Amino acid sequence: MGYRHFKNKLATVIYDDALVDASCEQLFQREWLQQNSNGALVERGKAVMFSYRGLELVFKRYHRGGLAGRLVEKTYLYSRLPNTRVWREFNMLVAMRELGLPVPRPVAARCVSLPPLGYRAALITERVADSKTLTETLCEKPLDNALWQKLGALIARFHRANVYHADLNASNILLTGSDEIYLIDFDKGVIRKHLSRQDAQSNVSRLRRSLDKLQGRHPTFYFSEENWQALTQAYQRAMDCESA
């Protein structure tokens, strides 16, 4: 059991053979996804939820941002397979799970070479059961400060493992019904030899900007300065314990 990969014409697929087999390539086909996800649209920036052989899975397609994204939405400059965003995120998830960090289990990834220099890619992960994003949760109800403290300590745990999340926002944090917390979407993230204090703080600041923006956008959004203080104090205590 382990991670296997195969090449089929221009496509290369990597998959967890404890969960799926080589036939998993069909899961990346637009028609198959639409038929098996209640007709969900496979489009930019939208995760597609579907079931397969008793597994609850999430499909994500990689897209370019900015002006380039509007011109060539799903194509990236190809150099080597290990350098592609999809391969890097798949292997980063594997590495973080080996470190015991709460992230989704990677199931399969597919990269299609588009000569001479382009590629398209998609990633499939296991869905975190009974979970909602922090954004969805705060639109429905407040969280007690103990849970904010738990989130602060968890972010510190990732930082102590030298994990840099390139976009730590409220929609990339999952809460389960039993108050477990997961971080998701590590596109452009990296596990560094040493995570600088500046980069660690940039993750925390990014989360605060996200919460402030959401509070201004939604008429009901349960977030307060007291909540933030609970998070940052727990975060700092956890970071101080590591450096002591």
Catalytic residues, by residue number, are 167
Structure-block tokens of residue 16: 């967890």
Cα 38 to Cα 189: distance, rounded to the nearest angstrom: 31
Of the candidates 115, 122, 109, 119, the one whose C-alpha atom is nearest the C-alpha of residue 30 is: 122
Residue 232 C-alpha from the chain's centroid: 22
Residue 7 C-alpha from the chain's centroid: 25
In one-letter notation, the amino acid at residue 14 is I
Task: Please give the biggest Cα pair distance in the chain.
Answer: 56
